[in-house]
Every structure is written in C-alpha cells, then in structure tokens.
Structure 1
Amino acid sequence: MAGTSPRYDICRHCRERFAQANGPGRKKEYCSIACRQKAQRERDGRLGQQQARSAHPLGRRIAEDLQALAAALLEAEYDGRPLAELLRYADEVTREVECYTAAAVHDARNQGADWKQVAAAAQVSATTARTRWAESRVQTRLKRRAAERAAVRQPHASPAGEGAPLSKAAERASAKLASALSYLHRSSSLTIKEVAEQTTLSPSYVSRILSGERKPTWPVVHALVELFGEDPAELSVLFESAHGLVPAPRHAIPDAVARLQAALQGLHLAAGRPQFGVIRKASRGTLSTQVISDILSGQMVPGWEQTAALVTALGGWPSDIRPLWEAIHYAFLYCLDPIPQSPRQLPPARPESP
C-alpha cells in the first residue's frame, strides 16, 4: 500500500539495521546473502570444533551397530524365521541406514565439506541436501535414535535360564570363550585325558567345552584356567557375556576399568594371543605396539577409537564392548561422590561335574 513505512530489523550477523519486506512470507533474518553465508560458516565452525572433541565420528559409531543388526538379519534368514520377523529385522536395518546417512553427512560437514560436495556425493541437488540433512533435523533424528536404543538396552531382571535363547552378543561371547579355553589348552601341552583327571571332569565333557559344544559353569572355567597356569579373571567378562549375565549397576571407576581390561584380555586370548606387531597391522596402523601393550597390560585406559580398533583387530565386535567402555565414563560422573560397592562376586572356584 502506498505510503506504508518500511519496517526495520537487525541483521543476526552484522547487527546492522535493514529494511524488512512488508509482504507475506517468511521474514528475513539477515540483511544480505553474504551475511547469511558467513553466519552459516561460523555455525559450521563451532560444530566442527565440538565434533573434533568427540571420541570419533558419529557415522562410525552407528556403523558398528548397523553391523550387529545386519548380522542378526542374516542369522534370522539362515534360521528360516517367519516373514514377519524377517521384515522387522529389515525395518530396523533400514532405519539404522537412514540414521547412518544423516550422521555421515553431519561428519562430512564438520570436516569442511560444503553442500555442493554433499549433494554430489549423494547425487541430489544442493537444495535437497541442505533440506534433508539440515543440522536441526539430523540432531532430532539422532536424539530419537538414542532414546529408542536406550529403551531397547534396558537390562533384563535376571539372566537367561537354561535353554532360553541368547542374544547374538552372548553367542559371540560363548564362541570367544571356547576359543580362549582351547588356546590355553593347546599352550599347556596337556592331553584332554590329563585335564579331565586333574579337574575331576569326564574327558568327553572337557572335549565338548573346548570345542564350544557345551558352556561351562564359572567353577569349571576357573579350574581349567588355573590348571593351564593363567589368571581366570581374564575370562570373567567373556563368561558373563556368554551366559547373558547382566552385572548390577556400579559406580566405582576401578571396577569399570577392570571389566573393560578383562574383556580385552579375553579377546586377546580367544585370538590366540597374537603378537603386538600382528595386532598393529590388523588395526591398519591405528594402534602402535606400545599402545597395544599398555592397553592389554592395564597401563592405559583407551579412548573409544583405540578400543574399537583393538577389538576389531582381535576379531571381536565393537558394539559388544562399547557398553563396558561407556561404563567407565559414566563412572566418572560419580567420582567426586562414590557410592560404596562390594567387589564383584563370582561363584566359588570349585569344579563341578557335568
């Protein structure tokens, strides 16, 4: 309308006054395109600094969980599960892939990629990329994912009973436990008959334990490992995971650190205690031999990227070990006000017959 006075606003970037359009539509926040672009670059820079301080890129973390979901889908297919169950697994994989894509774009943007580069990689237009993976949308999606996974990860009230189906993580831990015991047996030079005689177990039962056909109780594990001249504590976490046991919440940092160390030592045993140079090569140079030595000897509490690299190099699954690593950092929240806890109790070291 003629004679209408223009309305002025303050540019969010340069803080200068500019004439605001009086017509319909979204109001401008910046006085020019240049100011809007500068503000975006500043936001990207702050996000990049925050990302640099994180343990590792978000995409890698989600990819680890995606690996476990894809393995579960494959196992369900091999088992001939009903179509409804197969589709449920497939839906979980699909949603996780979408979250991974958003996280991968988020990581790339934090590393300096502009929207044209993202668009070219995704084979979409820059406008579509900017809209689909806007920072606010990505953060909302990842927060929703975190809430959903937290609900799924609530521990069970009791361990799985005899004959109850175990999780894939428990099955993997069971296989690793058998591998570790088998390696220790081979290193001991004892025959199965000699092992049976010294542990009061039957030779056939010992053979089934070492082959992974039977899961031993903790007293049996304790007796076997001691007979082989090793420390049973190194296999305690693998044993608990293999039996689906969920430890009571703890807030003591030393206990959380000890559990992570035991899990890593157990994986090292299960892999046949490869030399540190072999592990370094398997980690593609991510870990030095000194770092590997410090981690496995308990001289160093590794960051997550180091932990994941070591677990992968030893043939394990990072997603199985991550809760143990996170427990250490959760415990730090209580370091100024620790809650007294009794030491972790395991069954008495008395062998049982099958």
Structure 2
Amino acid sequence: MAGTSPRYDSCRYCKERFAQTSGPGRKRVYCGVECRRKAQRERDGRLGRQQVRSALPLGRGIAEDVQALSTALLEAEYDGRALKDLMHCVSELNRELDHYAAAAVHDARNRGASWDQVAEAARVSATTARTRWPENRVKERLEQRAAQRAAVRQPSAPLAEGPDPAGGRPLSKAAERASQKLASALSHLHRASDLTIREVAEQTSLSPSYVSRILSGERKPTWQVVCSLAELFGGDAAELSVLFESAHGLVPPARHAVGDAVARLQAALRGLHLAAGRPQAGVIRKASHGALSTQAISEILGGEMIPGWEQTSALVTALGGWPADVRPLWEAVHYTFLLCLDPQEVPRPLPASRPGTT
C-alpha cells in the first residue's frame, strides 16, 4: 500500500536501525553486507577457540593432582598418621581417580575414539561406557570440579604435617615448602644487598638473632617485616606475597577477578625465581630439559606472557618448586578458560600491600 510507513529493525551486529525489506521471504537481521561479514568472522573465531579448547587434554592436569594426593598418602603413612587420616587420603584419591577416568574418556573421544574403543580400554560394554561417561555429564562434572579448584585454598587431603616454625599450629607440607622458599628468597635479597645481619637489625629494629632465624627459615616473619626487609634489600615485596600467604596457610577469597588472579600467578612464579637465586633464562631452560625456550622464560617472568599449564609446570619444576602447589593459582587464572569463556583483561602487577597481614 502506497501510504504504508517503512518498518525499522535494529542490526544484530552494529545495533543501528535500518529499514526492513517488505514483502515475502526471510527478513534481514543485519543492516548491510559488511555487518553480516563481521558477524560471521566473529562466529568463526569463537568456533575456532572452542575447537582448540576441546583439543587440550583435560586428563593431564587431573593426573598431576592424583600424583600429589598419592604423595600425600605416602607421607601420611611414613608419619604414622591415624587410620582416619589415611582413609581420608584414600577417599580423596579415589574421587580424583574417578575424575581422571571421565577426563581421559573425554580426551579420547575428542581425538576420535569410538565407544567400542573406549569400552575395550575400560573393559566394559559399549552400552556401559556410554551410560557412565556421556559427554554432557562428563562436561558438567569437570566444570564443577574446575569451579571448586579455582579457589585457592588449603589442600583437601590431609598432608603429613610438621611443626610451625613460628611455634603455632602444624603446617602442611605445601606450607612448609612455601616457608622455606620465602626464607630462600629473603636470603638471596640479603646477600645481594651486602648488608650485615647487624646492619639489617639496626635498620629494622629487630634483633640480630631474629633476623638470622628469619633468613634461615627458622622463624616466619609477619607481612610487615617481609615488606621492611624487601625494601631494605632493594627487592619487591609483591614478588613474595604468594609465598607469604602459602607459608602462613592464608586462604584468599574464593574467586578472583581474572586480572587479580593473573597477578597472583605471576607473583608466585617470580617468587620461586627469586628463591632459586634468580638464575638466568639459559640456566632455567637447561633445567627444564628444553621444555621452555629462553624467550618464553623471559616473557613469563617479565609478565609479558600468561603461560599454559605445561609451561607453568616446567618452569616451576626447573625452579625447584612443586607444580601441585602452583596449580590452584593457574586454575584460578584459567577458570573462565575451562568453562569456555574468555578472560577480558590483562592485569597489572600485584601491589605490595595486598596480603595485609601484620
């Protein structure tokens, strides 16, 4: 009809209004060819990222956690822990083994394995395999596990414990390791400063014996003392923040913003680097048996690159750390990645005042 006003719709891509076509046929959803092409490129990009994610082996990270829990069980056995503690370790280990089986099947299916092949490997019928590990249930199960482990928290298995260097409650093995790394990092900074123990004591109002015991790992300093010593030695307290939190068994908030989580991971890696005496990239590359290039090492420690787990694990091992201690920090960074979401920001370095414990 000649007097009919044109109908307007909003472009699905640019959100601008455009005159809709009249007559029969499929209605337009984009204002023009350019917006349609841009929208298609974005869809292709999202699909490509999802395909890359699905190709990553989920079982490998869980296998590393199984190894850590097995070590915890062995340590508990050596320490003569009560049967209740041993059985708790067994329960945690069995749960992770179930998660690993589901992840291993998921990885195999992504690589093209048929249900008959899965059934043969698991020694069950194909019907049982399909029922036990359907894709939607496995995905939901692994997402729930990822959400639980994204929070940096105390180890779920009761690790063998030793005395707290500060004379308080017992420490887990992970806390003991962090405490020694913190002492090593402060000791390295002290040696580089050329200050004597007495000079350090005079400038920090601490006794020489107390300073000596901090640097040897016999005493755990407060965060205020860590900051004072780091500043006096010409170091950056932010690099020691995660080691400090781990050494004291502090539990950060259950969920971090992506930027904050990346800053914590970077602080942990730089702290381990400092505790190792700040070896050159070439030395670290050799210790990693070629798993890391010198360029990658420099970029990771310089905060220019967020490493994948294989790179993170190789770097931590080369620096004398335990990958299982760092993995919760890495998972906190890649939590959205594991849920098929994209991190939206790259963070700044962690401020020295973050732990806030005095």
Match of 2:96 in 1: 96
1:80 paired residue number: 80
For residue 172 of structure 1, the aligned residue among 168, 177, 193 is 177
Question: For structure 2, which runs of at least 5 residues remain unmatched after alignment?
Answer: 1-46, 156-163, 346-350
Deviation, structure 1 residue 328: 3.8
SS at match of 1:57: coil
One-letter code aligned to 2:262:
V
* CA distance in 1 between partners of 2:154 and 2:200 (Å): 40
Structure 1 residues 277 and 114 mapped into 2: Cα distance closer, same or farther (>3 Å)?
farther
- Specify the alignment match of 1:16 in structure 2: none
Deviations 1:44-71 (A, max 9, x none): xxx9995632584111110222233223
1:1-354 paired onto structure 2 within 5 Å: 50=50, 52-54=52-54, 56-114=56-114, 124=123, 127=126, 130=129, 134-136=133-135, 138-139=138-139, 142=142, 145=145, 163-248=168-253, 253-329=258-334, 345-347=354-356
- Say which SS state the counterpart of residue 220 (structure 1) adopts: helix
In 1, the alpha carbon distance for the partners of 2:254 and 2:99 equals 29
Distance 1:110 1:335, change over 3 A: closer
Instruction: Decide whether aligned partners of structure 1 residues 172 and 299 sit closer, same or farther in structure 2, where only a CA change above 3 A counts.
Output: same
**SS, match of residue 191 in structure 2:** helix
* Per-residue Cα deviation, 1:284-317 (whole angstroms, up to 9, x for no partner): 4332111110111112222333323322332323
Are the counterparts in 1 of residues 152 and 332 from structure 2 also a CA contact under 8 Å? Answer: no
Post-superposition Cα deviations, 1:17-68, rounded to whole Å, max 9, x if no partner, equal: xxxxxxxxxxxxxxxxxxxxxxxxxxxxxx9995632584111110222233
Q: Which amino acid aligns with 1:107?
A: D
SS in 2 for 1:53: helix
**Higher alpha-carbon deviation: 285-294 or 70-79:** 70-79
Mapped contact 2:227–2:237 kept (Cα < 8 A) = yes
The alignment's TM-score, normalised by the length of structure 2, stands at: 0.66
* TM-fit CA distance, 1:224: 1.9
- CA offsets, 1:184-213, max 9 Å, x none? 233334443443333332232222212211
**Aligned twin of 1:13:** none
**CA offset at residue 153 of structure 1?**
5.2
Q: Work out the CA distance in 2 between the residues paired with 1:329 and 1:149.
A: 11
For residues 230 and 275 of structure 2, the distance between their equivalents in structure 1, rounded to whole angstroms, comes to 13
Q: How high is the TM-score relative to the length of structure 1?
A: 0.67
Query: Could you report, residue by residue, the CA deviation over 1:132-161 in whole angstroms, capped at 9, with x for unpaired residues?
Result: 864446446545655775799599xxxx99
Distance 1:330 1:93, change over 3 A: closer
1:267 Cα deviation (Å)?
0.9
Distance 1:106 1:275 in 2: 39
Q: Residues of 1 paired with 2:96 and 2:110: CA distance?
A: 21
Check the 8 A contact 1:55/1:303 in 2, yes or no.
no
Identity of aligned residues (%): 70
Partner of 1:339: none
> 1:344, CA displacement in angstroms?
5.4
Q: Give the whole-Å Cα distance in 1 for the aligned partners of 2:202 and 2:73.
A: 43
Q: Compared with structure 1, are the counterparts of its residues 263 and 49 closer, same or farther at alpha carbon in structure 2 (3 Å cutoff)? A: closer
Larger displacement relative to structure 2 (242-251 or 274-283): 242-251
CA distance in 2, matches of 1:291, 1:186: 28
* Stretch of structure 1 that moved more, 249-258 or 73-82: 249-258
**Offset at residue 126 of structure 1 (A):** 7.0
Distance 1:345 1:65 in 2: 28
Assess if the C-alpha contact under 8 Å between 1:51 and 1:57 holds in 2.
no
The one-letter amino acid of 2:299's match is D
**Mean CA deviation greater in 135-144 or 291-300:** 135-144
Work out the CA distance in 1 between the residues paired with 2:223 and 2:48. 47
Report if the CA contact (8 A) 1:118-1:129 is conserved. no
CA pair 67-194 structure 1, distance change in 2 beyond 3 A: farther
Deviation at 1:345, TM superposition (A): 4.0
CA distance 1:317–1:56, change in 2 (3 Å): farther
1:65-124 residue CA offsets vs partner (Å, 9 max, x unmatched)? 2233223223322332111211121222123223223322332332344567656766x4
Cα deviation, residue 239, structure 1? 1.0
Distance of 1:305 and 1:131 partners within structure 2: 30
Letter in 2 for 1:104: A
- Distance in 1, matches of 2:255 and 2:134, equals 36
Equivalent residue letter for 2:110: N
Task: Give SS of 2:210's match.
Answer: helix
Paired letter, 1:277? G
> SS at 1:197's partner residue?
helix
